[in-house]
Structure 1
Amino acid sequence: MKILKFGGSSVATPARIQSVIEIVKPYLKGDVAVVFSAFGGVTDVLIGISKLALESNLEYKTKLADIEKRHLDAVRELIGVQKQSSILAQVKFMINELEDVLHGVFLVKERTPRTLDYVMSFGERLSAYIISEAFKDKGVAAEFLDARKVVRTDGHFGYAKVDFDVTNKLINDHFKNHTDLQIITGFIGTSETGETTTLGRSGSDYTAAIFAGALHATDLEIWTDVDGMMTADPRMVKKAFTVPQMSYEEAMELSHFGAKVIFPATMQPAMVNHIPIWIKNTFNPTFEGTVIHANAKNGKLIKGISSMNNVSLLNVQGSGLLGVVGASMRLFATLAREKISVILISQASSEHSICFAIENQYTRQAKSAIDKEFQYEIRNEEIDEVQVETDLSIVAVVGDGMKHSPGTSGRMFSSLGKNGVNVMAIAQGSSERNISAVVRQADVAKALNALHEAFFLSDRKVLNVFLVGTGLIGNSLVNMIEEQYNKLAKENLLEVNVVAVANSKKMLFNEEGLKLSSCIDEMKKDGQSMNMKEFADKMVSLNLPNSIFVDCTSSEEVTAVYETILSANISIVTPNKKANSASMEQYTNLKKTAFKRGVKFLYETNVGAGLPVINTLNDLLLSGDKVISIEGVLSGTLNFIFSSYTDGKKFSDVVKEAKEKGYTEPDPRDDLSGMDVARKILILSRETGLSFELSDIQVENLVPVDCQKGSVDDFFKTLEKHDASFEKLRDEAFSKGEKLRYMAVLNEGKVSVKLGSVNSQHPFYSLSGSDNIILLTTERYHERPMVIRGPGAGAAVTAAGVFADVIRIGHYAK
């Protein structure tokens, strides 16, 4: 014997009911019975209608007419015309009965739990009756069974307890005398006094389990609208997948904490009789689904992650609890008297505090009861005022495989910590099957995704990137991500998901990830107006795990929100020098915030584009080396200008050539001023531990005074007048066998940025093109400085450096 149960979503429309009939037909070769819920959404509508009637709102009649029409239409669509009349009459009879009850509620203005149970029973009674007739119309020998005939309960309306001795006998007697396919109403039963009762949440599942237990069924199949028990809620964790099998205990734990596919009550009769429970999908009937049974193989360390929202945490603490026998008993007895269920308990070993979690709706009631019970201790300051935290969630990792497996809790809390999810309370039972943590409800989606990634996708990491700045560098970065996406996913097990792109005018978000090949064009066309604060707020509100903010601008408006972003546990990668070369206070605050929040603030491209300057310097310092001096040609633009400025060329022409090749800023004066080089050497100085401000650096501005105002065209015209003076500098250097180089030097605690000349023995002498070069003289690299040399300008090399920092964060997050 097999018992099948189909939920409301499976029978929401006549078309779906037809599909269910086709699913059931192959089972008819053996013994089978089928339990049905009400048509999708009907139970909630019935509760709403009864509420309207209670409030003397005549709209209940309109809603009731809609219910009637829906069921009559189903009959007309499912049953042949010749057989419809008697069935339509029976449906109308039941609707009239329901109307009489609702009219009584309307008149008396009273809706007792008994009455509400009776009203709700019509959903299952109507659906099962119509579906039984639909089976008959398809030639199946079927019979409608109102479960109230055989399921006996107590009189606890709304959540009746089953009398299994009586119920099991009635079910077995009924099936001995009825051989046709039984189409059974879920959810309802009858009290000892003959009144209609309901079995509570997921009552139809429970009904199916009751019949399975009574008939010693070989299998219980719960047909729903998902592919079985998932590793996490697929609405919040897009990469969740079906768990092939799990134990009754694992399923119990998961269902308690919000996995609504199956509920604990359903499993009790099946567990007692060792009946496997199959969770299958009506909309994907060929998929095997999940089987819940006693001999489930462990397989993975954990089987699922679930959550429960709308939770409050109450903390009772004080010296009056220390060593006082019975304090805990008084506390929980008080809650029991108020009929408040405690979801989670955590107590410090010092006995100084007890915290527990309950549903939000009972918070005020619980606090008031505790205050009353411990009023004398609170008055005498032996116990503190009860502390309450609301709008929390509980996340739980569940699995039999956790038992005696060291490191499970470490992996869980490390994953939450790296993503900035604060844990407010923890509970783990001695069974080691469940570790639960209380977190902010706003963080629950991030927590679930982070945990799912840590336990089920531990070999794979998804990085959620928010990019501001889609000019040459930003555009190159997006192209690189697209080109390397498959390779990264396959070889490095990293998925780079670009969630947002923005320029100075528009911004575009897509939590699922933007299409890399077209996201910038799409942003320019369909994006909303850009506002940096709104962009940051949106990024923070999405609260995605492994979030990385990438700033490819040179804007101070963007750097102004860095601290806010880091404080929200979002890492930052940037070639923008404005943040680290602003005030020393801002530089220090950003570093401290990143450290405090456990996120990364990476800016390798601040100094040498794609060259490994900052990482190399930091590695030397971390190993105990000390910097004596730093010398550098830190502008690819200025190096191109001075290495191209040879005999026979005019300085103004070389600057024009550099601009035409795209090596300069739109206004070349930004490069020639030397401020870009000054910012770079300032950042390097700060990395060595010196507290310098930009104003402490001596900077030689190569832009003649009369060239500093006016348009770019005016600048070039005026610059021509100074060609002779630059030619003189070049010739003087040449006469000494030297070349001009614009250099930054940190030595003996002082920094200078100026134009100078070097001889053929100097490493800077052979520098060409747009290359940068840095000489690091340290205690270990004293006689022969460490040389870092390579392209120091260009969108491609800078984007590559940014991309490398993004990947570095991905490896850190693993």
Structure 2
Amino acid sequence: MQVFKFGGSSVANANNIKKVAAIVSNAAKKDSIVVVVSALGGITDLLLQAGKEAANGHTVYQEQIREIEQRHFEAVRALMPVASQSALLSLVKKATNEIEEICNGIFLLREITPKNLDRLAAYGEWLSSQIIAAAFKQGDMQVLWKDAREFIFTNSDFTNAEVDLAITEKEIRKYFKENKSNVFVVPGFIGRDGNGVTTTLGRGGSDYTAALIAAAVDATSLQVWKDVNGMMTADPRMAPNAKVIEHISYSEAMELSHFGAKVLYPPTIQPVMSKNIPLYVKNTFAPEMPGTIVGGKSKELKTIREHIVSGISSVNNIALISLEGSGMIGIPGFSKRLFEALSQERINVVLITQSSSEHSICVAIDQRYLERARLVVDKAFADEILLKKVEPLKVETNLSIVALVGEQMKSLPGVSGRMFGAMGRNGINIRAIAQGSSEKNISTVIATDDVRKAINVLHEEFFETSYKQLNLFIMGLGNVGAKLMDQLKQQHAFLKQHLKLNVSVVGISNSRKMLFKEHGISLSGWKESLAAGEPASLSDFTNEIIKRNLRNSIFVDVTANQEVAKAYGKLLQKSISVVACNKIAAASPFTEYKKLKELAHVYNARFLFETNVGAALPVIGTLNDLRRSGDEIKSIQAVLSGTLNFVFNHYDGTRKFAEVVKQAQEEGYTEPDPRLDLSGVDVMRKILILARESGFELEMEDIVNHSFMPASCMKGSVEEFYKCMAAEEAHFSNLLDAARADNSQLKFVAELKDGKASVGLQHIKPGNDLYHLYGKDNVVLFYTARYPEQPLVIKGAGAGADVTASGVFADIMRAANE
């Protein structure tokens, strides 16, 4: 004999009931089947709402009863031939009349009791099972209907009655021994107390009914049919990549169900576990799917799983209450008194943790019972609180529990480390931790706002053998930003295939518009999508990044905007990494630069700005590697402006200096305002950043700038700047002639030596390492303790949208690999 249980969604309407009938008919060809059913989907809620509305004096309960009646009428008419409908329609009418009479009484008294709620709720399963049994008979199945109240015996704890297991098992055995049929149909969820009064078994009660029957008759299996393909590694509504668990032990299933996996409820597992009866979780709407096997004999279970963790589950609406005080240290009985106080108020403790100093004990409870808990605990410890031996109860709300479950976690080092590390890297603060001695469960209490992120982070850490999700938010879509989008599109498939990295651009913004799409913005049509986006706002953009709270988030700044740079700290504090092409933050006052570095360290984020110096050249990365490996920077010589190098390489006297600068701007080598390049300010920022990364506390004003530009040209608009340069052509011509007379080339050189920095135009002789530098190339010479005479040289293109975008891309990859 097998026991099948079908939930509310499986029997929600006539079409679904026909699917159930086909499943049962096919199974009944091979074995006797006991079918336990829930109420039609949504009916139990309607019944309870009708009772509560009546108690509140609202006549809307009458409309709700009519809806209940109509739902059942429709099911009967769709399932039964006309000639066979009369008896069932009369049964439904009689039942709904009784429901209305009960609600009328509640309406008159303006009072509803748990006993009345149970009486109302029981009609749902009673009616659905009668209709389903009749529908089965239409398919030529031999069917017996049995009222569960005749063999499920409980106490009188209405709405959550406790089953008398001994007498219930005896009566179930007796019934199925004395009655023979191919198919039995039984309403779930309901029972009766010693006085014959209807009770209900609480949350998951129909599953529990099926498990009790399966255990009593020693069924070969219990099959729980749902609207999902089985138990999942995580809630698929939270983690889109959740997978079906093929095999799981009873204890693992119990742990998962206790911590929020609603496919099964904990009481369901105990009866079948005691008899070692395999429990199958299957999908009514995809019966061909294998589903999940829970427990059973060892030969039915895989002995080695692909993953050490079986699943991840969560419980919301949790509050933490903490009892603290120096008067607790070394005094026995505090824990006992705390739990007794909560027990007297029927408040269940979900999680417990206590400090080794005995100075505090912390428990997690359902947030609904918080005020009751506060009152009863403060009352229980009133004397100690008055004497200041114990502090009044401390409370934290809006919390959730996220639990990692798996038998193979036992005695395996590093699981908790991986769990906490993955959560920490994504800025998820853990408020409390509990791990049982069985090592099958590691539970953490976190902010409810972080639950979705935590589940995805943990699922990625323990289940995602395919790829890691990376979420990008890009600010600035000019030349460099557009090239970055092109490169991301070009490399998307490569990254996914070879690096197991799925890069998703979730948010983009320019100075006019911004756009967000959680599942990724199209890298082909992003320009059109952005044009149709909402008005741009820096504060709204950064707030939205924080609000979305996505795992592995990176903010990419491809602007030269000071206000954008000011937003870095806010993002880093939320463990959102920052990749900055913008030099302003790293060249800001030293205290601000240092604070950003510290925030990145404290909040497990990355603050990367390789492209601040030398575009895609590995200048800062190499400098950091030298220092991390114990080398000491003695001095630096560098040509750091691709713009100025381009200008002086192309200025040969045949064209005006202003024309060459204009060409550099048109080809994308200059900053939006070319004066930043020609004034030397941009180079000052770059040598300042290198000085700081070398360990020197320099400010911008500490750098000596030997400017070659006439002061008159640095005022007014960009247009006036070009006019002034044209007018000052003789000045630039003299600079060129002097260099030629000295058999030298003009190079704008940045230097750092003995903690002092300067920038300026220099005559470079042919034998110098800076001489052979063409086009827009940059070069950096590191003189260190290990490279005292022959410097470490980094040389290559130091400007241009493509190479700068590739440098930003490389920083994104560095952040992703942390």
Shorter-chain TM band: over 0.9
SS in structure 2 opposite 1:8? coil
The equivalences for 1:473-492 within 5 A come to: 473-492=480-499
Contact kept? 1:604, 1:802, Cα under 8 Å? yes
Contact 2:321 2:393 in 1 (8 A): yes
Deviation at 1:379, TM superposition (A): 1.7
Spell out, residue by residue over 1:397-431, the C-alpha distance to the aligned partner (whole angstroms, 9 max, x if none): 11110111111111111111111111121111111
Deviations 1:15-54 (A, max 9, x none): 2222222222211202112111111111112111110000
Q: CA deviation at 1:171?
A: 2.6
- Tell me what 2:475 maps to: 468
Q: Classify 1:282/1:514 alpha carbon distance in 2 versus 1 (closer, same or farther; 3 Å).
A: farther
1:63 aligns with 2:54: no
Please list, as runs of the form range in 1=range in 2, the aligned pairs for 1:220-259 lying within 5 A after superposition. Answer: 220-259=222-261
Aligned to 2:27: 27
> 208-217 or 12-21: which moved more?
12-21
What pairs with 1:709-720 in structure 2 (closer than 5 Å)? 709-720=715-726
User: Is 2:290 aligned against 1:283?
Assistant: no
Q: Any idea what SS the aligned residue of 2:140 has?
A: coil
Secondary structure of the 1:325 match is coil
Letter in 2 for 1:48: Q
Distance 2:187 2:386 in 1: 56
Match of 1:185 among 184, 187, 190: 187
For residue 151 of structure 2, what is the aligned residue in structure 1?
150
Quick check: 1:670 aligned with 2:676? yes
Q: Does 1:195 align with 2:197?
A: yes
Q: How far apart are 1:194 and its partner, in Å?
A: 1.3
Matched, 1:534 2:540: yes
Distance 1:587 1:93 in 2: 78
Identity of aligned residues (%): 47
1:382 is aligned, of 385, 389, 392, to: 389
Query: Whole-Å Cα distance in 1 between the matches of residues 266 and 751 of structure 2?
Result: 71
User: What residue is the counterpart of 1:260 in the other structure?
Assistant: 262
- Are 1:2 and 2:2 matched, yes or no? yes
Question: 1:305 Cα shift?
Answer: 1.0
Tell me what 2:710 maps to: 704
Q: Structure 1 pair 165/779, CA: closer, same or farther in 2 (3 Å)?
A: closer
| Equivalent position of 2:449 in the other structure | 442
In the alignment, does 2:499 pair up with 1:498? no
CA distance in 2, matches of 1:353, 1:506: 52
Q: Call closer, same or farther: CA 1:184–1:329 in 2, change over 3 Å.
A: same
Q: Distance in 1 between matches of 2:508 and 2:643?
A: 28
- Name the aligned partner's letter for residue 548 of structure 2: L
- For 1:744-783, list aligned pairs within 5 A: 744-783=750-789
Cα deviation digits, residues 533-589 of structure 1 (max 9, x gap) = 111111111111211111111111111111110011111111110111121121111
Distance 2:801 2:24 in 1: 63
Say if 2:788 is the partner of 1:787. Answer: no
**Cα displacement (A) at 1:6:** 1.0
Aligned match of 2:364:
357
Say which SS state the counterpart of residue 728 (structure 2) adopts: helix
- Quote the residue 2:815 is aligned against: 809
Structure-2 residue corresponding to 1:644? 650
> Quick one: which of 583, 591, 596 aligns to 1:590?
596
Distance 2:662 2:161 in 1: 87
The SS at the match of 1:684 is helix
CA distance in 1 between counterparts of 2:671 and 2:355 reads 61
What amino acid sits opposite 1:208 in the alignment?
A
Cross-structure match for 2:111: 110
Aligned match for 2:521, one of 505, 514, 518: 514
Query: Which runs of 5 or more structure 2 residues have no equivalent in the other structure?
Result: none
Alignment of 1:569-718 (within 5 A): 569-718=575-724
Deviation of the 1:703 alpha carbon: 4.4
Aligned counterpart, 1:14? 14
Letter in 2 for 1:4: F
SS in 1 for 2:398: strand
- For residues 695-744 of structure 1, what are the alpha-carbon distances to aligned partners after superposition, in whole Å with 9 as ceiling and x for unaligned? 22233445434433455444434422222221221121112210011121
TM-score, normalised by the number of residues in structure 1? 0.97
Deviation at 1:458, TM superposition (A): 6.1
RMSD: 1.7
Alpha carbons 2:742, 2:763 under 8 Å: kept: no
Instruction: Look up the equivalent residue of 1:748 and give its one-letter code.
Output: D
Provide TM-score, normalisation by structure 2. Answer: 0.96
**SS where residue 307 of structure 1 aligns?**
strand
Distance 1:19 1:180 in 2: 18
What SS does structure 2 have at the residue aligned with 1:10?
A: coil
Task: State the AA in 1 paired with 2:279.
Answer: I
Distance 1:798 1:486 in 2: 22
Tell me the CA shift for residue 647 of structure 1.
Answer: 4.6
> Secondary structure of 1:573's match?
strand
Q: What residue number does 1:38 align with?
A: 39
Q: Which runs of 4+ in 1 moved over 6 A?
A: none
Cα distance in structure 1, aligned partners of 2:392 and 2:161: 38
* Partner Cα distance (2:169, 2:371) in 1: 42
Q: Deviations over 1:621-651 (max 9, x none)?
A: 2222222221111111111111111253332
Offset at 1:230? 0.8
Contact 1:466/1:548 (8 A) holds in 2: yes
- The aligned residue for residue 392 of structure 1 is 399
Alignment partners' CA distance in 2, 1:669 and 1:702: 12
Structure 2: distance between partners of 1:283 and 1:797: 53
CA distance in 1, matches of 2:447, 2:220: 43
CA distance in 2, matches of 1:572, 1:458: 26
Does the 8 Å CA contact 1:153/1:161 hold for their aligned counterparts? yes
- Provide the C-alpha distance between the structure 2 equivalents of 1:243 and 1:16, rounded to a whole number of angstroms: 25
**AA of the residue aligned to 1:288:** P
The aligned residue for residue 74 of structure 2 is 73
Partner of 2:330: 323
Answer yes or no: is the 8 Å Cα contact 1:673–1:700 preserved in 2.
no
Q: Give 2:220's aligned residue.
A: 218
SS of the equivalent of 1:343 reads: strand
C-alpha distance in 1, partners of 2:364/2:659?
74
Deviation readout 1:276-320 (Å, 9 max, x if unpaired): 010111222211111001434351211011111111111112222
Alignment: residue pair count:
811
In the aligned structure 1, how far is the partner of 2:359 from the partner of 2:674? 68
Matched with 1:131 is: 132
TM-superposed deviation, 1:138: 3.1
Quote the Cα distance in structure 2 between the aligned partners of 1:52 and 1:690.
73
Question: In 1, are the aligned partners of 2:572 and 2:603 still within 8 Å (CA)?
Answer: yes
Amino acid at match of 1:35: V
Moved more, 249-258 or 368-377: 368-377
Rounded Cα–Cα distance in structure 2 between residues aligned with 1:345 and 1:91: 48
Q: Are 2:637 and 2:749, in contact at CA under 8 Å, matched by a contact in 1? A: yes
Q: Is 1:169 aligned to residue 166 of structure 2?
A: no
> Does structure 2 conserve the Cα–Cα contact (< 8 Å) formed by 1:669 and 1:703?
no
